[in-house]
Amino acid sequence: MAFDTLGLSEKVLAAVEAAGYKEPTAIQSGAIPQVLERRDVLGIAQTGTGKTASFTLPMLTLLEKGRARARMPRTLILEPTRELAAQVEENFEKYGTNHKLNVALLIGGVSFSEQDKKLDRGTDVLIATPGRLLDHFERGKLLLQGVEILVIDEADRMLDMGFIPDIERICKLIPFTRQTLFFSATMPPEIQRLTETFLQNPARIEVAPTSSTADNVAQFLKASPSKDYEKRAALRELLEGAEDLKNAIVFCNRKRDVSTLFRSLERHEYNVGTLHGDMDQRTRMMMLDNFRKGNIKLLVASDVAARGLDIPEVSHVFNYDVPINAEDYVHRIGRTGRAGRSGIAYTLVTPEDQKYLEAIQVLINKTIDWLGEEIDFEEAARERKARRKSGRSSKAGSSSNDNETDTAKSSGRRRGGKAKPEPVESLEEISDDAIPSTVAKMPQKPAGRKSKTDKLEPAFAPGVHIPAFLLREPRPKKAS
């Protein structure tokens, strides 16, 4: 099947040909005709199969008629991260070279005033992250009554990042007669319920099993020690032994580990960059651009780089940490093997990662091969249990010896380590020397008319234990 059989306009076909694409992917050939027929679409496909073009190309064709009005965008595309939003903008620039459309990008880390100017000129295509979009709406700088097409991309990532309440609010602000397009690599039950609420009789385009991995990506597991320095050494061993390593993304679960691993690889003279959510937008975009151009060979990143980023020629992916969320594994290794290319994904596995690894293999319905010796998780669990048991035994033994040597002293200790004083039978037994001088010298009330406070009982009744700290002398004040 060729692009000219899908119903795209001549301008769009010319741009596609100029970009060098000859045949549409499965998701594109299934979704583009449905979008052009103004139907709601639910698209599910493996990452790297061209989902972005499957809504970008038909939208360009539909937008050839009509014009935008100030602060009232004609179409709205929601993305979970700034990088994905910027990538979609690049797609519109590439395929929309023959169109005179205004495209606005609303993301965090950029000045509000510059974005307001674009909205005031009128926007045909508005690409935004949910938070920044609602910020503009609440400031009165944006009206959503004119939106004809709503695209929610990477919907499962929206769920992971907590954007679903924002998505629901945005959907209610847009006209009910809109056309809604959902695209994602995975479709968890929560997203399924969302589609049932906001999509009207959608055309379901599913070109691969949900949460499956591409066959052109070879996957391997590598046993690793749990200690950080030994784990970093295991990663360097993998990097040195990887065949045909052109460039690679190394994924960590935590931003703290991203920074630590980046510094370690830099010390070992690797050509390495870093990417995580705490970096400012300009630095993030510059780092991605350098990685695309080949100026950086290794990119150590958090899961902010796992979803939807289109860097076609990534040869390898290394999972320094086994992802806690099994679906993140699908997205991570989807950064390699894109556009029909082959790729390799390695995952370092420690003895504590058994349940996460099992969840991944159940999700993708595949057993991943081990590179070298396999971890015996049952034996590792027995060793951890034995260490914990021996630790408790040693603590109990030391406590028992202390009790035998000084039972009276141990029983009389309080939380702060002070010996518990003997209780007094009455207040008269306390000598004047035991009372702090500040208490003894407190002024007495002059004789005269009695008040209600004079009838109060003493603070400590006879036979009541007086805390030791009340009997201490106060610390002398420092000379000013």
User: Per-residue pLDDT tens for 441-459?
Assistant: 445 545 555 555 455 556 6
Query: What's at 68, amino acid-wise?
Result: A
Q: Using the structure block, give the residue that is written with the tokens 């997205």.
A: 331
Do 317 and 352 share a domain, yes or no? Answer: yes
CA 378 to chain centre: 31
The verdict on residue 465 lying in a domain is no
| Contact indicator for 70, 121 with CB cutoff of 8 Å | yes
Do 37 and 134 share a domain, yes or no? Answer: yes
Q: What is the structure's pLDDT at 439?
A: 43
Q: Answer with the one of 379, 395, 423 that is the final residue of a domain.
A: 379
CA distance 331 to 212: 10
Q: What does the block give as tokens for 468?
A: 């030791």
Q: What is the structure's pLDDT at 396?
A: 62
Q: Percent of the chain having pLDDT more than 90?
A: 49
Do 54 and 162 share a domain, yes or no? Answer: yes
Do 160 and 271 share a domain, yes or no? Answer: no
The verdict on residue 365 lying in a domain is yes
DSSP string, 122-171: --SEEEE-HHHHHHHHHTT----TT--EEEEESHHHHHHTT-HHHHHHHH
Q: Rg (Cα) of the chain, in Å, rounded? A: 33
Q: Which of 92-101, 195-204, 209-218, 295-304 has the lowest mean pLDDT?
A: 209-218
Residue 289 pLDDT > 60, yes or no?
yes
217-243 average pLDDT score: 93
The verdict on residue 457 lying in a domain is no
Q: Which of 215, 206, 157 minimizes the C-alpha distance to 44?
A: 206
Bridge partner residues of 120 (DSSP): none
Q: What is the structure's pLDDT at 429?
A: 44
> Is residue 221 classed as helix, strand or coil in its secondary structure?
strand
Q: Is the dihedral of CA 362, 363, 366, 368 positive or negative?
A: negative
Q: What does the block give as tokens for 108?
A: 């965090």
The verdict on residue 364 lying in a domain is yes
Q: What is the structure's pLDDT at 106?
A: 95
Q: Which of 31-45, 57-71, 227-241, 422-436 has the lowest mean pLDDT?
A: 422-436
Residues 6+ apart with CB under 8 A from 234: 222, 224, 225, 348
| Contact indicator for 69, 122 with CB cutoff of 8 Å | yes
Residue 219 pLDDT > 90, yes or no?
yes
CA 144 to chain centre: 28
Q: What is the structure's pLDDT at 248?
A: 95
CATH of the domain at 78: 3.40.50.300
Do 276 and 335 share a domain, yes or no? Answer: yes
pLDDT band at 237 (very low <50, low <70, confident <90, very high): very high
pLDDT band at 124 (very low <50, low <70, confident <90, very high): very high
Do 269 and 372 share a domain, yes or no? Answer: yes
Q: Looking at the 3D structure of the chain, how many domains does it have?
A: 2
CA distance 250 to 266: 13
Q: At residue 246, what are phi and psi to the nearest 5 degrees?
A: -90, -50
CA distance 84 to 181: 16
Question: What does the pLDDT look like over 348-382, one tens digit per residue?
Answer: 999 999 999 999 999 888 999 999 899 998 888 88
The verdict on residue 411 lying in a domain is no
Q: What is the structure's pLDDT at 440?
A: 46
Do 236 and 342 share a domain, yes or no? Answer: yes
Do 253 and 309 share a domain, yes or no? Answer: yes
Q: Answer with the one of 182, 206, 230 that is the final residue of a domain.
A: 206
Q: Answer with the one of 179, 206, 233 that is the final residue of a domain.
A: 206
Residue 477 pLDDT > 90, yes or no?
no
Do 283 and 303 share a domain, yes or no? Answer: yes
Question: What does the pLDDT look like over 129-163, one tens digit per residue?
Answer: 999 999 999 999 999 999 999 999 988 878 778 88
The verdict on residue 414 lying in a domain is no
Do 355 and 221 share a domain, yes or no? Answer: yes
Q: pLDDT: is 88 or 435 the higher one?
A: 88
Residue 203 pLDDT > 60, yes or no?
yes
Do 173 and 255 share a domain, yes or no? Answer: no
CA distances from 120 to 40, 74, 140, 142, 378 (A): 29, 13, 12, 9, 63
The verdict on residue 454 lying in a domain is no
Residues 6+ apart with CB under 8 A from 104: 73, 115, 118, 119, 123, 125, 126, 127
Q: Across all residues in the chain, what is the average pLDDT?
A: 83
125-131 average pLDDT score: 95
Question: What does the pLDDT look like over 324-353, one tens digit per residue?
Answer: 988 889 888 988 887 678 899 999 999 999
The verdict on residue 391 lying in a domain is no
Do 101 and 226 share a domain, yes or no? Answer: no
Q: At residue 456, what are phi and psi to the nearest 5 degrees?
A: -70, 145
Domain span holding position 333? 217-379
